[in-house]
Structure 1
Amino acid sequence: MHIAILGGGVAGVASAIALKLKGHDVTVHERRAGDANIGAGIVVWPNAAFVLAQFGILDDLAAVAGHPRAMRRLSRAGADLGALDIGLIEARMGYPSLSVLRSDFQRILSARLQALGVAVRYGRNVARIEPGAVVHFDDGTTLTADLVVGADGRMASCARRYVTGGNTPIYQGFINWIGVCEGEFDVDTISDYWGTGARFGIVPVARDKAYWAGGAAQATIGARDPDAYRDELQRLFADWPEPVRRIVATTPAARINKIYVHDHDPVPTWYRDNLVIIGDAAHAALPTSGQGACQALEDAWHLANCIEAHPGNVGQALQAFTALRFQKTAGITMAGRGLAASLFNRDEAFCRERDRASRHADYADLARAMADGWSRHLPL
């Protein structure tokens, strides 16, 4: 089967790998002019590690990643709000959790794709998609294929517009500044500081390197001025604990980015004709879900398996794929919204109660629930 993939991010490259491993003829069409480093880092939770093991690259990733043992919550004053034992999740799921820079993650995926002989064509910006899944690029060329996979992201997905009739993402009322910093870190612990209408997370990937995200509620979308990002952060987190202040002060300005965070409402229809949407184009979740890239990897693995299970019938394969994936991804999207609404709430009384509840939470039960939810539809 000839399969064309629109988008060279995690979902696009992962689906290309999964489909190529099943013996299909695959090409990837990416709108950017070349490889791009988008984002700071990700945690590859065990469900995603399972998929990477099927791709044959889990060991490559582990060689450049951290292996966090706990996720620790703290107040903006540094008080302990409880900790999640990541080892409990791993024991229940059978695979590791790895923290990795986004650039290293994408490089390893791309190297596997290249080793499989799959071409990535850059500068292929989709202008429109016509009935029959005929893809028109802005250079005047067109594309048809036995299957078109729309992995063209959350912000301007032509594939999502073709399938659902609309592709406008929803601003969720908060900003994330993200970055990568060198220094001295406890490589075993992810730290998540909670304030009123703000939070700051630190994820070590090695003893001398971490990625981080500082978030704050903001009702409207404003300007992006990279020269001002550090000043914005220093004003916002001026009286937060020392690790937060140190990271803001020492992260190179070129490694700081600012994102007005959007997602999409879950939709039950992911395909039209022989075009299917996956990853953020289908189910963009907030970073508070912790599962964006992980669910993109699951999409890739399940899509390849559904096509294999329905040889010669793309429609049945896409129907089975959507039925398999919709409820799980919709739940993750809504859970991410729920946590974001709690973290970025500006009411001080609400945040005090939130912190009190966190101190008294049953973290062993939470670990079991996370493991069971993430294991759904996977042989873990």
Structure 2
Amino acid sequence: MKITITGAGIAGLCAAIAFTKAGYETTVFEAAPTIMPVGAGLGLAPNAINALAALDIADDIIPLGRRLPYFRILDRSGKVISENNSDMIGRKFGLDNFTIHRRQLHNALLSEVDPASIHAAKKAVGLENDGSQLRLHFADGTSFKTDYLIVADGINSVIRQQVAPNAQKRYAGYTCWRGVIDNAGALAEGASETWDTTGRFGIVPLPDDQLYWFACVAADANDARYGNFVPQNLAQHFRHFHTPVPEILARAHGQALLHHDIYDLAPLEHYAYGNVLLIGDAAHCATPNMGQGACQAIEDAATLYTELCKDVPLENAFIAFEKRRLERTQYIISQSRKIGSLAQIGNPLLASLRNTALRLAPASLREKQFEKLYNVTF
């Protein structure tokens, strides 16, 4: 039996780990010329930590990260609008506000997968299904026969678009820059986002004295005004923001930035298509406003693992996976999009009303939201 995975990012590697632990061999194809993570920092919430534990790899990954004491939403002056205390959340749901550099997480996952099973520079561009076997076609003109295919090659997946032709990317209305600075020192103790009518700025301390930052500005898709922005441009745009935002952008001077318009994927009706299964961003890409992108990819793998262990035909395991994952991931897509719209409000009056409402929101409301997000079993 041949099982193939397209994509060697977090979703694809976690899926390979799930199959291996369930007793299956996989072949992984990655479009990039080398197996190298692209990104900066990321956070893992309790649901992701519990999913890593279900895959029996949490103990290898937790020492690589850093637990932060809080997450705050601030206004431009630095005044707290809302705060989530990590100790309080952790007592009920497990390790929270855990940050790690994407490179470290990716390398830890890679170490769990047989290197001989991973092939780079193999961009999947087409799929044939003769009813009994699949033939995967690559951009280099080669092809590969397989019995089952796990599609984990992201929001722009060509194969996803072939099996689910009605899938639609949706622009969120803002563009985002990301970077990491070294020797961060005492610039920030916890994670924060500053919300203002002119844009949004996020700060996430990482292990090894690094700090991940991001900046979001409302813009048209492919907006020419922002295509060539460098840290100096961002420093000018966010010059009125509280400390340490100006210091962070000054420290980023001369660095190459990651810059992307923000998209999500309109909710799909299915993830399972016979002997083909969509996972990760190829299935349910959400905007990053809930910090759940990597978390949901890991959840996918943990859920898949439990279904694979039930000794049923893989098609049945894929259908069971879909039943367990569809509603939850659709909820996260919807909520994350709403949070992004709320955070990017450009009208001063509406922004003031938003800030007041968040300051007055009872803790019980946030706890209810945490319950829905973090209380998941595998």
TM-score range, shorter chain: over 0.9
What is the one-letter code of the residue matched to 1:309? K
* Higher mean C-alpha displacement, 231-240 vs 348-357: 231-240
| Alignment match, 2:217 | 216
- How many Å separate the matches in 2 of 1:59 and 1:128? 38
- How many Å separate the matches in 1 of 2:67 and 2:283? 30
| Alignment match, 1:326 | 326
| Alignment match, 1:309 | 310
Per-residue CA shift, 1:254-273, capped at 9, x if unaligned?
Answer: 35211111111011211223
TM-score computed with the length of structure 1 as normaliser: 0.92
SS of the residue 1:72 aligns to = strand
User: Displacement of 1:310 after TM fit?
Assistant: 4.9
Q: Are the aligned partners of 1:43 and 1:100 in contact in 2 as well (CA < 8 Å)? A: yes
| Alignment match, 2:123 | 125
1:181 matched to 2:181: yes
- How many Å separate the matches in 2 of 1:185 and 1:274? 51
Q: Are the aligned partners of 1:3 and 1:25 in contact in 2 as well (CA < 8 Å)? A: yes
Q: Are the aligned partners of 1:261 and 1:286 in contact in 2 as well (CA < 8 Å)? A: yes
User: Displacement of 1:196 after TM fit?
Assistant: 0.8
| Alignment match, 2:230 | 229
Per-residue CA shift, 1:215-257, capped at 9, x if unaligned?
Answer: 1111232349886321331121011112111111102533521
Q: Map 1:44-83; keep pairs closer than 5 Å.
A: 44-83=44-83
| Alignment match, 2:41 | 41
| Alignment match, 2:257 | 256
| Alignment match, 1:354 | 354
| Alignment match, 1:94 | 94
Over 3 Å counting, the alpha-carbon distance change for 1:119 and 1:226 in structure 2 is farther
| Alignment match, 1:147 | 148
- How many Å separate the matches in 2 of 1:207 and 1:33? 28
Query: Percent of counterpart pairs with the same letter?
Result: 28
Over 3 Å counting, the alpha-carbon distance change for 1:354 and 1:207 in structure 2 is farther
User: Displacement of 1:205 after TM fit?
Assistant: 1.4
Gaps of 5+ in 2: none
- How many Å separate the matches in 2 of 1:2 and 1:187? 48
Per-residue CA shift, 1:122-177, capped at 9, x if unaligned?
Answer: 011112112344211122222232210000101x2022112211455221110111
- How many Å separate the matches in 1 of 2:199 and 2:188? 24
Per-residue CA shift, 1:165-223, capped at 9, x if unaligned?
Answer: 14552211101110101222366411211101511110111372210111111123234
| Alignment match, 1:272 | 273
What is the one-letter code of the residue matched to 1:285? A
What is the one-letter code of the residue matched to 1:119? S
| Alignment match, 1:170 | 170
Per-residue CA shift, 1:14-63, capped at 9, x if unaligned?
Answer: 00011101110111100001122312111111111112223343233222
User: Displacement of 1:101 after TM fit?
Assistant: 0.9
User: Displacement of 1:320 after TM fit?
Assistant: 1.1
SS of the residue 1:113 aligns to = coil
- How many Å separate the matches in 1 of 2:250 and 2:140? 44
Over 3 Å counting, the alpha-carbon distance change for 1:57 and 1:255 in structure 2 is farther
Over 3 Å counting, the alpha-carbon distance change for 1:97 and 1:152 in structure 2 is same
- How many Å separate the matches in 1 of 2:143 and 2:339? 42
Over 3 Å counting, the alpha-carbon distance change for 1:259 and 1:299 in structure 2 is same
* Higher mean C-alpha displacement, 132-141 vs 189-198: 132-141
Per-residue CA shift, 1:60-111, capped at 9, x if unaligned?
Answer: 3222211012111110111121311122222222344410111111111111
User: Displacement of 1:290 after TM fit?
Assistant: 1.2
* Higher mean C-alpha displacement, 24-33 vs 243-252: 243-252
Aligned length: 374
Q: Are the aligned partners of 2:187 and 2:244 in contact in 1 as well (CA < 8 Å)? A: no
- How many Å separate the matches in 1 of 2:38 and 2:157? 17
Over 3 Å counting, the alpha-carbon distance change for 1:144 and 1:271 in structure 2 is farther
What is the one-letter code of the residue matched to 1:93? F
SS of the residue 2:50 aligns to = helix
SS of the residue 2:337 aligns to = helix
SS of the residue 1:242 aligns to = coil
| Alignment match, 1:109 | 109
Over 3 Å counting, the alpha-carbon distance change for 1:53 and 1:97 in structure 2 is farther
- How many Å separate the matches in 1 of 2:116 and 2:365? 43
* Higher mean C-alpha displacement, 288-297 vs 64-73: 64-73
- How many Å separate the matches in 1 of 2:179 and 2:186? 15
TM-score computed with the length of structure 2 as normaliser: 0.93
| Alignment match, 1:298 | 299
SS of the residue 1:112 aligns to = coil
